[in-house]
Chain A
Amino acid sequence: MDDFGRSIPKKIGSWQASGKDRLFDRQTLYDYMDGGAEVYLAFDLRQVWVRKYAGPGGGELTLDIYDMGSPEEAFGVFSCDREDPGAGIGQGSEYGFGLLRFHQGRFFVSVMTADEDEASGRAVLDVGRAVVAALGPPGPGPDMVGFLPRESLRPERTSYFHANVNLNNRYFIASENILGLDRSTDCVFAEYGTGAGKPGCLLLVRYPGAERAVAARRSFLASYAPEAGSEGLAQTENKKWVSAVVRDRYLIIVFESPDPDWARRLGSSIDIPKK
Chain B
Amino acid sequence: MTQMLTRRDFLKGTTAALLGASLGFGQDAPLAKKARVVLVRHRDVLDENSAVAPDILQGMLDEAVMKLFDESDPVKAFAKLVKPGETVGIKTNVWSYLPTPPELESAIKRRLVDAGIAEDKIGLDDHTVRTNPLFVNATSLINARPLRTHYLSGMSGCIKNYIMFAQSQEALHPDSCADLGSVFNLPMVKGKTRLNILCVLTPQFHGRGPHHFSRRYVWSYKGLIVGQDPVAVDTIGLRLLMAKRREVLGKDQELPPVPKHIQLADTRHGIGVSDINAIELVKLGWDEDILV
Binding site for B on A (CB under 8 A): 30, 32-40, 80-81, 83, 96-99, 101, 110, 112, 114-116, 165, 168-169, 171-178, 223-224, 236-238, 255
Known interface pairs A114-B97, A175-B258. Does A34 touch B211 (Cβ–Cβ under 8 Å)?
yes
Q: Is the CB of B163 within 8 A of A81?
A: no
> Digit string of B13-55 for contact with A (CB within 8 Å is 1, else 0)?
0000000000000000000000000000000000000000000
Contact in complex: B11, A175 (CB < 8 Å):
no
27 interchain pairs (CB within 8 A)?
A: A34-B210, A35-B153, A35-B173, A36-B150, A36-B210, A36-B211, A38-B173, A80-B209, A81-B208, A97-B215, A99-B214, A101-B208, A110-B209, A115-B215, A171-B7, A172-B7, A172-B10, A172-B257, A173-B6, A174-B5, A174-B7, A175-B176, A175-B260, A223-B6, A224-B6, A237-B8, A255-B7
Task: Provide the residues of chain A in CB contact with B8, threshold 8 Å.
Answer: 224, 236-237
- Which residue of the partner chain B has the closest CB to A30? B170
**Least distance between A218 CB and chain B CB atoms (Å):** 15
Q: How far is the CB of A5 from chain B (nearest CB, A)?
A: 22
- Apart from the given pairs A35-B152, A176-B4, 13 other A-B contacts in the complex at a CB distance below 8 Å: A30-B170, A36-B151, A81-B209, A81-B212, A112-B213, A112-B214, A114-B97, A165-B151, A165-B152, A172-B257, A174-B5, A224-B6, A236-B8
A114:B6 contact, CB within 8 angstroms? no
Q: Which of A97, A223, A255 contacts B214 (CB 8 A)?
A: A97
Inside 8 A of A34's CB, which chain B residues have their CB? 95, 210-211
B169 touching A238, Cβ below 8 Å? no
Known: A114-B97, A172-B7, A175-B1. A35 touches B258 (CB 8 A): no
Determine if B209 and A165 form an interchain contact, defined as CB atoms under 8 angstroms apart.
Answer: no
Within 8 A of A (CB), among B141-181: 150-153, 156, 160, 163, 169-170, 173, 175-177
Residues of B contacting A99 in the complex (Cβ-Cβ under 8 angstroms): 208, 212, 214
* B90 close to chain A: CB less than 8 A: no
Whether A35 and B163, one on each chain, are in contact in the complex, defined by CB atoms closer than 8 angstroms, is yes
A116 touches B7 (CB 8 A): no
Of all chain B residues, the one with the shortest Cβ separation from A237 is B11
Given A173-B6, A174-B6: A236 in contact with B212 (beta carbons within 8 A): no
Chain A: minimal CB distance from B14 (Å): 10
Least distance between A49 CB and chain B CB atoms (Å): 15
A99 nearest in chain B by CB position: B214
Q: What residues of chain B lie closer than 8 Å to A115, measured between beta carbons? A: 215
Q: How far is the CA of A37 from the CA of B168 in the complex (A)?
A: 14
The reply to whether B209 and A236 contact each other, CB–CB distance below 8 Å, is: no
Contact of A36 among B4, B11, B152 (CB under 8 A): B152
Bound Cα distance from A39 to B153, whole angstroms:
11
Please, what's the 1-or-0 string for B123-155, where 1 marks a CB less than 8 Å from any CB in chain A?
000000000000000000000000000111100
Are B7's CB and A224's CB within 8 A?
A: yes
Q: How far is the CB of B43 from chain A (nearest CB, A)?
A: 24
- B169 to A30, Cβ gap below 8 A? yes
A169–B258 CA distance with the chains assembled, in angstroms: 9
Interface string of B79-111 (1 = CB under 8 A from A): 000000000000000010100000000000000
Q: How far is the CA of A81 from the CA of B208 in the complex (A)?
A: 6
Complex contacts, A165 vs chain B, CB 8 Å:
151-152, 176, 257
Closest partner residue, chain A, to B172 (CB atom): A35
Residues of B within 8 A of A168 (CB): 176, 257-258
**A39-B151, A169-B257, A238-B11 in contact; A175/B215 too (CB < 8 A)?**
no
Q: What chain A residues lie within 8 Å of B6 (beta carbons)?
A: 173-175, 178, 223-224
B 228-263 to A, binary, CB cutoff 8 A, 1 in contact else 0: 000000000000000000000000000101101000
State the Cβ distance, A104 to closest chain B Cβ, in Å: 17
